[in-house]
Structure 1
Amino acid sequence: MSEGSSGSGNIKASDLFVKCLEAEGVEYIFGVPGEENADVMMSLMDSPIQFVLTRHEQGAAFMADVYGRLTGKAGVCLATLGPGATNLVTGLADANMDRAPTVAIIGQASTKRLHKESHQNMDAIAMMRPISKWATSIVEPSIIPEVVRKAFKVAEAEKPGVTVIELPEDVAERKTHGHPMKVFKTRRPAADHKAVQQAVDLLLSAKCPMVLAGNGALRKRAAAQLRRLALKAGMPVFNTFMGKGALKREDPHNLFTIGLQAKDYGNLAMDKADVVLVVGYDPVEYSPDKWNAKQDKKIIHIDFQPAEVDQHYTVEVDVVGDIADALWQINIALERDHDDRLPLNDIGKWQKVRQQIQDDHACEKDDFAFPVKPQKILWDVRQYMGPRDIILSDVGAHKMWISRYYPCDEPNTCLISNGFCSMGFALPGAIGAKIACPDRKVMAICGDAGFLMNVQDLETAVRLKLNVVIMVWADGEYGLIKWKQQNEFGKHSKLDFGNPDWELLAQAFGMWGRTVRTAEELPAVLAEAHSQPGPALIGIPVDYAENLKLTKKLGSLVMSS
């Protein structure tokens, strides 16, 4: 690759573009190239950046999404113009709403034909704007350093999300001058000291304070300060689906996940709260009208951005700034001024409720019925996976079971798409996770519907020799839709479909595969799957008769006092 200089036109634009990516610390690009980004691909051949060729652009976007979530650095995906760009859309929308830093690079036709009808020409940037934080086209090669720097800075800034760079083919091949801009760290602003003091005062006066931890509580070292505050204030902590791991499983302050629509233990407990400390919460996950229906709770909002406007989320104190810093300030104030009162509340009064939840998690652990109950599957998976190992949940009925029955010890060890909720997320996402964290076990749990939406990227995992384990819960129906239709109407539309033979499907891709035929064999199958040199596929018939039983159960729960 030729070296550029600021004073001469001796560097190809695509070479400069790749140099700017290198300066941003990019190590991997996931994607499917086309004719219109051929120059970029040639420039990448002389770069240390590894291009991961995928089998679908949507899969590439999901890989970049998960890579960004786990590393905190923007994951990068690439597609060509037209259908390549449109195929990225679902994955990019998912990354943007789930707050995953992601930069998408898309090709475009020559600028000489964008003003008229021409082959595959469409306004891709206009399409990308509603699903991204920022999207732009490079119309002049000299602006490449600024555009690339801004794309990464915006994507990684709180709240993180998607940015899109379009590079037309004729711009990419031109000669230019320039060099990458310096990458520097931006310090996030600290919370206002008056707002912090108001939060402290409200916690001191609260009779029954609680914490709701969302997606943002897992980022930028916030979880460590949250664990410290829970101890000092003696507050029970609930997490949203995407807030799993904010507290460890064994922490007595952890009352696990809240977020199912029906009345669960968490909802019953939350009904008693007079003050709720809400940390890194995204309303897209769990609408506040579900946990503050009476609008009777005083809310302390702690986030990188001001609170969303919602009549069920009228905040008493809006603490805006770096979450970890805001929690640290509260901790320091409590230690400095109120050490003789700490902990402020007795967490012991919540241990009966915590035990109820834990007993519920274990209720079917010794049930060996077949097809296998969701609770039993997740008990065995949780027993097998280590505290830092990663599972990814696709979207479907299994997501609801994972959210309730799979507790975590560490942030970002259970990745769930719960903002945009995209089916097809978990399989390609697992590839991104294994590349980001090669030393950890990675398992994708999919429904049979979501699995087949991106099944083609099994070949990518085989080619890369990645030991990702894909577990498919098979019921031959769109199970979550059936569940919701039955709840609302007492019947359901036609939602059944056929499935492949899982072992033959794995064999066709040249990988290990097994269909579970008894509940007893699952632990051994998990161990064998994770011992493979490449990917592994586990098909397991699931008993979704448990869905309606869970609905009935959640409607009749009584919380221990």
Structure 2
Amino acid sequence: MSHTVAEIVIDTLQKAGAKRCYGIVGDTINHFIDAVRRSDVSWISVRHEEAGALAAGGEAYMTGELTLCAGTAGPGSLHFVNGIFESHRNGAPVVLVASNVDRPQVGLNFPQEVDQKKIYEQSSVFCEYISHPSQARRITAMAAQAALTQRGVAVIIVNGDMFTEKDADKLPWAVHRPAPVTTPAPAELSQLAAEIAHADKVTLLAGYGAREAHDEIVSLARKLNAPMVHTSRSKEFLEPSNPFNVGMPGILGNHAGMDAIEQCDLLLCLGTDFAWTQYYPEKARIVQVDCDPTHIGRRSPVHLGLVGDVGATINALLPLIEAKADKAHLDRALAQWEKDRAAYMEAAEESDPALIHPQFVAHRLDTLAHSDAIFTADGGSPMVWCLRHLTANGSRRFLISLLHGTMANAYPQAMGIAAAYPERQVIALCGDGGMTMLMGDLLTLKQEALPVKLLVFNNGSLGFVEMEQRVEGLLDSYTDLENPDFAALARTCGLFGERVENASQLDGAMQRWLGHDGPALLDVKVNRMELVMPPKVELGQVASTALFGVKAVLDGRSREVVSLLRDNFLR
């Protein structure tokens, strides 16, 4: 029996585990949409394709299973681009079905014709046309297998008229999901054991690639009396139930994490591709273990690079090394970590009810949210408050735009997560800039009955950009945002909406917001003068901020300077 290409594509993707497809219907994908309608795959209509790609990526990231999005020719498919980049960099197994104009019009500059392959090759693990009906199942299976096994986006490009073509579809092309385990060669493990034996102060820097090696890392840290520093992406996996955890490195990190790296004489980088070269130690020897050989030594020069899965590598290493008795390096890091956490708690206290600090909002959310809540956070300051003030307990999940660094990712990603986990609390920490960038999909939350809880940190500015300008000694320029009443807007769209302007109102409003049975938005007016302070404040940063102060005073903004100093340097 013959089947259309549209039927073959959706059948193959459904058999590969896909449950939902996000997008906007239209011309060149209408036959594909009809095949979706007749399948067990659910179609979720969004108001902007970028939101659809982010939602698909959010679902795929959290579930580890295939999720779909589909777009029409030209602008329809192109609107997916930023969301596809974000999802691909997160390692989310997404398949995008990107349609093109009918084949007789290709190469003639027909309206809406776009070379989709040139667009998407740089943000995918697989990108290919279905050029003949007999390729449909084979190409689709290859795309799904690449997305699932290489952890990224795969793109299938189909001309609109190709969807209606038929094929006998006799060969059973299917998706395979092998899960190999890799360890370094014995001689390389012996070299690593020798490096450890000669070191007095070892620090572990563990990343997303070590997300399944929590117990092995704890065992290694215990044997070496080594503090463990985790990257921001691995917080949820490696922070819980880990007595050796001392926080994060980099501008989003803390003193203990930075000190543990700076003061060691051997840094073991385990499954991390931490990008910021300036935060690696200058004097310590560095060993890197990663499953991807192309990652070895690309962020910082290393003395030894090993290719292997982190958990399996540690298990093979442990019998080869002697326990270290000296706890001074670990104790020093843990003592600083206690001070850092105390400082976070102090920053979360509110002394002026009329001036709500974003740290206080995040702290109250941490207290009131469910123990298995799933959080997303916009790029910018919301991701900082999420990473610093929300507790990872082993049940909570987090998705933050840490690799692509986009705006407006939080609540679209939360839409996909809520579709996959309707029984769990899914909370999006949104900046007011991010919220207004893709505000139209508030309607999707209502139409698709997605019970996402949106928390808007409303400071009337592009706050992270404002901070960047100020620490450069510049007057903050063009960062003002004239926002609507987000709570009233939410109610107009059919959502629960409430606004908070006084700290004393926050707990009650947050409880009503979290307890609402359906999508809900909480608009909190937070302090605009809050800087995201790095763990190490360099002299140049202080000088640049002081220069901003001089310029601001001369520009008639002395009240802002007083507020900036009070809230960030004098607390």
Scaled by the length of structure 1, what TM-score is found? 0.90
| Change in 2 beyond 3 A, CA 1:180/1:528 | farther
The aligned counterpart of 1:464 is 448
Q: Aligned residue for 2:389?
A: 405
Post-superposition offset of 1:249 = 4.4
Who is 1:234 aligned against?
Answer: 225
Find the partner of 2:177 among 173, 185, 204. 185
CA contact (8 A) 1:467 1:530 kept: no
Alignment correspondent of 1:95: 87
1:7 alignment counterpart: none
Q: How does 1:177-256 map onto structure 2 within 5 Å?
A: 177-178=168-169, 180-194=172-186, 195-218=188-211, 221-249=212-240, 251-256=242-247
C-alpha distance in 2, partners of 1:456/1:265?
A: 42
1:302-451 alignment runs, 5 A limit: 302-308=289-295, 313-331=300-318, 333=319, 338=322, 341=323, 345=327, 347-369=330-352, 370-410=354-394, 413-451=397-435
Q: CA RMSD in A?
A: 2.4
Is the contact between residue 188 and residue 322 of structure 1 (CA under 8 Å) also seen in structure 2? no
Q: Secondary structure at the match of 1:256?
A: coil
Q: Distance in 1 between matches of 2:512 and 2:264?
A: 46
Name the structure 2 match of 1:128: 120
CA shift digits 1:60-118 (9 cap, x unpaired): 11011111211112322111110011110001111222222221111111111112121
Residue type matched to 1:526 in 2?
M
Question: Identity across aligned pairs (percent)?
Answer: 23
Distance (whole Å) between structure 2 residues aligned to residue 299 and residue 246 of structure 1: 23
In the TM superposition, what is the alpha-carbon distance from 1:289 to its structure 2 partner? 2.5
Worse-superposed segment, 92-101 or 167-176? 92-101
Output the amino acid matched with 1:287.
Answer: W
Runs of 4+ residues deviating >6 angstroms = none
* Pair 490,330 (structure 1): closer, same or farther in 2 beyond 3 Å: same
- Aligned pair in 2 of structure 1 residues 552, 282: CA closer, same or farther (>3 Å)? closer
Deviates more, 1:240-249 or 1:132-141: 240-249
Q: Letter of the aligned partner of 2:479 in structure 1?
A: L
Matched position secondary structure for 2:350: coil
> Higher relative CO (CA 8 A, sep ≥ 6), structure 1 or 2?
1
Q: Which moved more, 1:74-83 or 1:479-488?
A: 74-83
- Please state if 1:119 is matched with 2:106: no
Q: CA deviation at 1:256?
A: 1.6
**What is the CA-CA distance between 1:398 and the residue it aligns to?**
2.5
Q: Which residue of 50, 57, 60 corresponds with 2:52?
A: 60
Other structure's SS at 1:18 match: helix
Q: Distance in 1 between matches of 2:363 and 2:90?
A: 26
Q: Report whether the alignment pairs 1:526 with 2:510.
A: yes
- Paired residue type of 2:54: F
Q: CA deviation at 1:433?
A: 1.4
> What amino acid is aligned across from residue 15 of structure 1 in structure 2?
E
Amino acid at match of 1:74: L
Contact 1:66 1:75 (C-alpha < 8 Å) held by counterparts = no
Which residue of 2 is the match for residue 18 of structure 1? 10
User: In the alignment, is residue 74 of structure 1 matched against residue 66 of structure 2?
Assistant: yes
- Alignment CA distance shift 1:111-1:381 (3 Å): same
- Whichever residue aligns with residue 500 of structure 1, its letter is P
| Alpha-carbon separation, structure 1, partners of 2:345 and 2:252 | 22
Q: Specify whether residues 301 and 311 from structure 1 end up closer, same or farther in structure 2 by C-alpha distance, changes over 3 A only.
A: closer
- 1:173-193 Cα deviation digits (max 9, x unpaired): 011021552333312241123
Q: 1:554 to 1:436 in 2, by over 3 A?
A: farther
Distance 1:146 1:198, change over 3 A: farther
Give the distance between the partners of 2:122 and 2:396, measured in 1 at CA: 26
Alpha-carbon distance change, 216 to 439 in structure 1, aligned in 2, over 3 angstroms: farther
**What secondary structure is seen at the aligned counterpart in 2 of 1:315?**
coil
CA-to-aligned-CA distance 1:469-502 (integer Å, 9 cap, x gap):
1011111111111100100024221321211112
> What is the Cα deviation at residue 552 of structure 1?
9.5
**1:505–1:442 distance in 2 versus 1, CA, 3 Å:** same
Amino acid across the alignment from 2:393? D
Query: Match of 1:546, SS?
Result: coil
Distance in 2 separating the partners of 1:364 and 1:475: 17
Q: Which amino acid aligns with 2:192?
A: A
* Residue 288, structure 1, aligned to residue 260, structure 2: no
Q: Which residue of 2 aligns with 1:47?
A: 39
CA gap of 1:42–1:180, structure 2 versus 1, over 3 A, is farther
Counterpart residue identity of residue 251, structure 1? N
The size of the alignment, in residue pairs, is 536
| Separation (CA, whole Å) in 1 of partners of 2:47 and 2:216 | 41
- Partner Cα distance (1:526, 1:310) in 2: 46
Letter in 1 for 2:165: R
Q: 1:259 to 1:197 in 2, by over 3 A?
A: same
CA distance in 2, matches of 1:374, 1:16: 50
CA distance in 1, matches of 2:240, 2:308: 28
User: What residue number does 2:493 align with?
Assistant: 509
Matched residue, 1:298: 285
Identify if the C-alpha distance between structure 1 residues 445 and 343 changes in structure 2 by more than 3 Å, giving closer, same or farther.
farther
2:227–2:334 Cα contact (<8 Å) kept: no
Per-residue deviation, 1:213: 2.0
SS in 2 for 1:112: helix
1:148 to 131, 140, 146: 140
Post-superposition shift, 1:146?
Answer: 1.7
- Measure the CA separation in 2 of the matches of 1:467 and 1:40: 28
One-letter identity of the residue aligned with 1:303: D
Moved more, 469-478 or 519-528: 519-528
Q: Is the 8 A contact 1:79 1:105 kept in 2?
A: yes
Distance 1:523 1:234, change over 3 A: farther
Output the CA distance in 2 between the equivalents of 1:523 and 1:180: 57
TM-score normalised by L of structure 2: 0.88
Distance between the aligned counterparts of 2:456 and 2:497, measured in 1?
11
